Chain A
Amino acid sequence: MSKKNIIEHQELVNLARLSRIAMSDEELRQLRPQIESVLEYASCLAGVSDEHKPGTMPKNSNVFRDDQAISTDPAPLMKEGPDVQDDYFVVPTIVKKEQ
């Protein structure tokens, strides 16, 4: 494995935080070689563009439609909420109150 594909443990900790996934050090240690091997495998891509003739994917075009309000019963959607009060989803503290 080339050196540049080695991920420091702290980098993985940051990555898990960025991904908003709580993961133990043990879990991250287990995943590390698996992630490194995929990145190592994909590192071949950087050099490819010079070897072959360039191409493009089909052009995407935006799909527009008129903005129309559709009356929908919110009840079935609200029923999916893990914690609901009236027509609101309940979440824990977002901003801490200053003491």
Chain B
Amino acid sequence: MANNTKSGIDPFASIKTIKKDFEDNKYTPREYLESCVERFGKLDKNLGSALEVFDVDSIVSASSQTGSLAGIPGLVKDNICQKGRIASCGSKMLENYVAPYDATVSSRVKKAGAFLLGRGNCDEFAMGSSNETSAFQKTANPWDLSRVPGGSSGGPAAAVAAGLVPWGFGTETGGSVRQPAAFCGIVGIKPTYGLVSRYGVVAYGSSLDQVGVFSRTVYDNALVFSSIAGHDKRDSTSAQNVQSIDYTQDLSGKIPAGLTIGVIDNALEAEGIDPQIRVLLDDALAVYEKLGAKIKRISLPTMDYGAAVYFMLSRAEAASNLARFDGVRYGFRAPDVENLTELYEKTRGLGFGQEVKRRILIGNYVLSAGHADEYCESAKKVRGMMRQEFVDAFKDVDVLFAPVTPMTAFKFGAFDDNRLQMDLQDYFTAPVNLVGVPAIAVPCGFTQENLPTAFQLIGADFSEKLLYQVAHAYEQATPWHTMRPESFK
């Protein structure tokens, strides 16, 4: 199946298999990389997942080529710096900005031998849930090209799901890895805040942002994650005293004895969940029961306010973070201006797209005198309550279970007239970012329209190893990770 390259390379092979094939001299890392580049050339015209695929020699020479990811190509979301490459953030503002240094995550995977193959499309400055706000191109969903791949990390997610590349980097502020992972039927992790360095990642909401990993299997995800997790002195929000560990270690296909899964009832029963998704979530829980898990229904009432809190705090932080794009030191500069104020205003007026402007305006509104108490201060208070509620929940259960999205991938333009509905894509995901705990999206089947969906497992701080183990057990008991989108087989 799918051996459509001349050297017999399976484009959907897992990293584990590719590494074995390298060892067995079935093909070389360079041949594998060339086959990926060739597939991008052939198939990405319809998909639009990459903003750029680099030339093979430059990819190889930027990598150490030895280590746990030796010769394994990945696609990096375009808001993560790769030295000497453009980092556009999907924005006209940084269309020609060449990163003068590597983000820590980029340098760590290169050091582990990975090949960074290109730049993945994303919503402008990671603001969006569909990749439609990218200033450059649309990215389609590999399962149905008339639908979005999700966002904001839609490019890398689509590429991984289409078998163009085995893994990708995304970033999350309110769900931008887990939501596209669910829409594309792949695995996506949002780590504990502070476990992965944000150095070299273009900031959106600094108290929320984290880099995440996409892959087709849980093992592959844990393998890539092992190379990036850990303290970084260059990021002062990086967690102290975190040891580098091998996250693939406990992936036995079994769950820990006595595992209790807390099902977030108010999420599962939330209004507006597609009934087909609801059935698939119940099926997933049945699989966990068979695996020996205890299921406990719990309620986290403040989670229902998560989206509202997220809208306020992320926009406020965005307004502050994006103030740096002023046309003076780097990036786009508007022509024909007479004074400095006009330079700022015209540069930002022409350089930013509408979604970014909307979020900056909302951010400055809720930060301004007269509104800060009503919106920002109350949002911060509710965030604290939410944190407490999650911390308390983990006294009774080991992991939490919830939907990732209320719906499967939607058609392009579906929310053009209702931006709030688009924003509410973050409803089940944003609380996790606000609270700071880790979560992993795990594919759990397909609707009648053959569109994938996922559940998320949420863990206590720094419980990634457990999340991988519990996710892996489900994956091994189900066939979803072996499915391939028809147009890319």
Chain A residues packing against B (C-beta within 8 Å):
7, 12, 15-23, 27, 30-31, 34-35, 37-39, 41-46, 48-49, 52-58, 63, 65, 76-77, 79-83, 89, 91-94, 96
Contact = CB atoms under 8 A, between A and B. Distances in A.
A46 B374 contact: yes
B45 interface: no
Nearest to B335: A82
Contacts of A55: 384-389, 391
B396 interface: no
A31 B315 CA distance: 15
Contacts of B350: 22
A91 B98 CA distance: 21
A23 to B, nearest CB: 6
Interface in B292-324: 301-302, 305, 307-309, 311-312, 315, 319, 323
A21 B308 contact: no
- 6 A-B pairs closest in CB distance: A55-B388, A22-B349, A82-B333, A80-B330, A63-B236, A22-B345
B308 A42 contact: yes
Interface in B358-380: 358, 360-362, 364-366, 368, 374-375, 378-379
B348 interface: yes
Interface stretch (B163-171, B336-344, B441-449): B336-344
A21 to B, nearest CB: 4
B123 to A, nearest CB: 16
A62 to B, nearest CB: 8
Nearest to A55: B388
B384 A56 contact: yes
A56 B350 CA distance: 40
Nearest to B310: A42
Given A15-B365, A16-B361, A45-B382, 4 more contacts: A31-B357, A45-B375, A56-B387, A81-B330
User: Secondary structure of the A side of the interface?
Assistant: loop
A12 to B, nearest CB: 7
A53 B478 CA distance: 40
18 contacts: A15-B368, A17-B345, A20-B326, A21-B345, A21-B352, A22-B346, A27-B357, A35-B358, A38-B362, A45-B374, A48-B302, A48-B378, A48-B382, A54-B388, A55-B386, A57-B383, A77-B329, A89-B329
Contacts of A27: 354, 357
B420 A41 contact: yes
A17 B346 CA distance: 11
A39 B364 contact: no
A77 B81 CA distance: 14
B389 A39 contact: no
A35 B365 contact: yes
A56 to B, nearest CB: 5
Contact of B339 (A56, A65, A92): A92
B331 interface: yes
A49 B380 CA distance: 10
B379 A45 contact: yes
B388 A45 contact: no
A80 B340 contact: no
Contacts of B420: 34, 37-38, 41
A27 B343 CA distance: 19
